[in-house]
Structure 1
């Protein structure tokens, strides 16, 4: 029996969707769907819910195909599931040479294990799984170092945490970023002003794709002085706000809003997009910044799948790897390369903890080459 994630519309809600897990006969898996409801209750984005639903479905399918009870598989079988995640070839994607197989990276497999562990531990409080199983999935870990500003508590009580026992430890390549040449190429390859503006805006602001698609026209303060809008931030800027009623379900990750300054390049590309948008009468009534202009339903807020398809097309045309989140890493990398202090970059990205900036500190080959040559020159 195969399980898969399915999107549903919530009864009595306006344009609200959720994700559930169903089998081949579209019978709902009650426990998995209850867990996903708790994920939605944490105000996670719809895309996060979709990913979690897919991971849980993968685990349930693996158990069912082997005749295992998902709620009490035994730790040895969970170890087999861990190994299977990175040893089982993935379904072919597009035209694939004969004998060529794709495999799940350690990082992707570890994310599945993390969701599976949370799902099984969630089942303890509902009586689906046993406390003994949950105890095998975690172990106490003593933190030698704490994040800046974090208290160790009385007697060091906060230094003791529960760490997962099921992990995949491999080389983490990290999320890549675009070079300036690649960004320029994507801008040239984009087929319309809306797509060009989206690329330029994400590169200039470091916004997540959910934050970008969730922008409303009232969030764009592009005049030198915004006091007429009851806003006292100086210069052109953009407000990033978390809203849970966006028609396209786009959601800002952080509950704390922030302001990001922008320069004339962003304004110029927005002006071109506005002219293009005005040619579609159906878009006039929509308050969202990014809307459908070239496919039905015209004037409707642009969705995440639309943005993903855009980057997939650009990746194919430019013959590069291109994902929306790489734009955020590109912005952070360029700010850090320009000497912008870490605390300023963290604020621009909307990070609450300084530790969150660590994955964005990509060291370019040029800087590594310069470091080696500098030491070699000094030695000579």
Structure 2
């Protein structure tokens, strides 16, 4: 939960509902729930994006407070100024910097902030508040070739929403992967069967850390012919809201629990090394009688035996990485390394990587991973042939 700052005295507040769902709103220490922010965030509750938008919006509202501006009277030029202050590349002076001591937003975060601001002020405009600004933001554009490729059969002729606050989209760079030999070096530094399991499963399964920490024992089908959906050992990654450890799978594939068995969700294959790590952990460390039924559990402290939070896994890998002399190791580095290896093994087949990793589109896989290594022998041979140097 965000700490209250002196500027604006606004904070993000998590709301826990009776049915187990969690949503986020913005709380003002002087007046209670921020009505405008709550109206905007409410439709996103339970969809996985309300938390992100809440933190983006609270930063903007704090900036308005510092600049003595009001959402009901702020102008488009003020929003441009804010986007510049958090990292947008706009060629004009912006005065005192914002978010001192923090990294400026990257391109992806800037585009998210632009979407958040547009949605917030359009919602204000629907209520008759600052209609002038809403009209400036409510613009349209013609679809691009990429838009048409993403649409079914390419039949996209209508105009599309545009955002005058958003920076130009940058092509995503190749993400940082694990150093060579990192898996073995980290395995030597971890201290328990659970931690070894995390390293093996991240390495061979390509999991997001939220997916792993959200797994239940019933999601694991680790023997052949365990269910009709996949004959090989596998797990079902199921999106669940309101888990005790705050974990949540990003993918939202439909799933159900019927006749004592999980069906649906994102199916991910399991390697023999993953199964071996599973048995070591379950037979040696998993607490008996755990009523929550979740896979990864705390091993120390007053919360021993309770579900393990994703932040705990991140800290464990961070400590192990530094002990191994590898520097900062993040869980997602395993996923990038895994995806690159699968792409190489699949001879560049983007569909295989997309389905194995649970990405929504091959475009994401193509932009991040489908790049040739300049040291690859095939790459070198192709250039030599082009230059007429092939012997």
State the TM-score, normalizing by the size of structure 1: 0.82
Residue 150 (structure 1) aligns with? 152
| 1:44 alignment partner, one of 47, 52, 57 | 47
Residue 331 (structure 2) aligns with? 324
| 1:253 alignment partner, one of 250, 264, 267 | 250
Cα deviation code 1:206-239 (max 9, x no counterpart): 222222222110111112332xxx5462121111
Residue 99 (structure 1) aligns with? none
Cα separation, partners in 2 of 1:11 and 1:149, compared to 1, 3 Å: closer
Residue 346 (structure 1) aligns with? 354
What SS class does the counterpart of residue 33 from structure 2 fall into?
Answer: coil
Q: Which has the higher helix share?
A: 1
Distance 1:206 1:286 in 2: 25
Cα separation, partners in 2 of 1:122 and 1:307, compared to 1, 3 Å: farther
Counterpart check, 1:166 vs 2:165:
yes
Cα separation, partners in 2 of 1:316 and 1:234, compared to 1, 3 Å: same
Residue 97 (structure 1) aligns with? none
Q: Mean alpha-carbon deviation: is it higher for 357-366 or for 343-352?
A: 357-366
Counterpart check, 1:196 vs 2:196:
yes
Cα separation, partners in 2 of 1:111 and 1:250, compared to 1, 3 Å: same
Q: Mean alpha-carbon deviation: is it higher for 266-275 or for 240-249?
A: 240-249
Counterpart check, 1:290 vs 2:293:
no
State the TM-score, normalizing by the size of structure 2: 0.80
Distance 1:13 1:34 in 2: 21
Counterpart check, 1:270 vs 2:275:
no
Give structure 2 stretches of 5+ with no counterpart.
Answer: 1-6, 89-96, 254-264
Residue 23 (structure 2) aligns with? 18
What SS class does the counterpart of residue 244 from structure 2 fall into?
Answer: coil
Cα separation, partners in 2 of 1:241 and 1:172, compared to 1, 3 Å: closer
Cα deviation code 1:260-309 (max 9, x no counterpart): 2211110111122213423x45x632311111112331221122332333
- Answer whether contact 2:346 2:352 (CA < 8 A) is retained: no
Distance 1:362 1:315 in 2: 27
1:116 positional shift: 1.9
Count the aligned residue pairs.
358
Cα deviation code 1:291-347 (max 9, x no counterpart): 111233122112233233334434544443433333332221110011252212211
- Answer whether contact 1:89 1:104 (CA < 8 A) is retained: no
Cα deviation code 1:143-182 (max 9, x no counterpart): 24212662455xx533x21121112346754542324523
- Answer whether contact 2:343 2:350 (CA < 8 A) is retained: yes
What SS class does the counterpart of residue 140 from structure 1 fall into?
Answer: strand
Cα separation, partners in 2 of 1:314 and 1:85, compared to 1, 3 Å: farther
Residue 233 (structure 1) aligns with? 230
Cα separation, partners in 2 of 1:352 and 1:111, compared to 1, 3 Å: closer
Cα separation, partners in 2 of 1:233 and 1:173, compared to 1, 3 Å: closer
Give structure 1 stretches of 5+ with no counterpart.
Answer: 94-101
Q: Mean alpha-carbon deviation: is it higher for 134-143 or for 5-14?
A: 5-14
What SS class does the counterpart of residue 379 from structure 1 fall into?
Answer: coil
- Answer whether contact 2:40 2:119 (CA < 8 A) is retained: no
RMSD: 3.0
